[in-house]
Structure 1
Amino acid sequence: MRKYELMTVFSTEEDKFKAASDAVRSVLANFGAKIDKEESYGDRDLTYVIEKQKRGRFVLFTVSANPAKITEIESQFKLTQNLLKWLFVKIED
């Protein structure tokens, strides 16, 4: 297992945010990733419009995951509605 930071940008509408954040947690759990920490950065303006959205809700997850599964996790994120963007960054030991 390797540690990663996962920055996510969700829709700002509360019901869409809840559904998408639950979907992200579910996808991570399905691929054996463990969420170590979850930190909300709140609603912020986006630099450019994404899926007709000008604002997004940013959440940073610290996860432990198998490196071989990251590509599969990202494939599932593409199917998640109201998850506007995401980025995995490996944490160096």
Structure 2
Amino acid sequence: MRKYELMTIFPLEEDKYKKGSDTVKSVLSQFGAEIEKEEPFGDRDLTYVVKKQKRGRFVLFNVKVNPAKIVEIETQFKLNNDLIKHMFVAVEEK
């Protein structure tokens, strides 16, 4: 298992945010990931329009997951219409 930071952007509508967040957590647990921390970053303007959205709700997840599962997780995230964008970044262990 390796540590990653997962930055996600959800729509501002509360119901879409809640549904998208629940789906992200469900997919992560489905593939054996451990969510260590969930940190909301608030609502912010997007640099460019994505999926017809100009603003989004940013949430950072600190997760531990098997690196071989990242591609499968990202495939499931792409099918989630309530997730505007996401990005995994590997955390360097000291």
TM range (shorter): over 0.9
Q: Do structure 1's residue 64 and structure 2's residue 87 form an aligned pair?
A: no
Aligned residues: 93
What is aligned with 1:81? 81
- Cα separation, 2, equivalents of 1:78 and 1:50: 13
- Structure 1 outlier segments of 4+, above 2 Å: none
AA in 2 matched with 1:61? F
Q: Which secondary structure state, in structure 1, belongs to the residue aligned with residue 84 of structure 2?
A: strand
1:10-69 per-position Cα deviation (integer Å, ceiling 9, x unaligned): 001000000000000000000000000000001000000011110000000000000000
TM-score, normalised with respect to structure 1: 0.99
Shift of residue 82, structure 1, vs aligned partner: 1.5
What is aligned with 1:15? 15
Q: Which secondary structure state, in structure 2, belongs to the residue aligned with residue 83 of structure 1?
A: coil
**What RMSD over aligned residues (CA atoms) do the two structures have, in Å?**
0.4
User: Can you give the 5+ residue segments of structure 2 that lack an aligned partner in the other structure?
Assistant: none
User: Can you give the 5+ residue segments of structure 1 that lack an aligned partner in the other structure?
Assistant: none
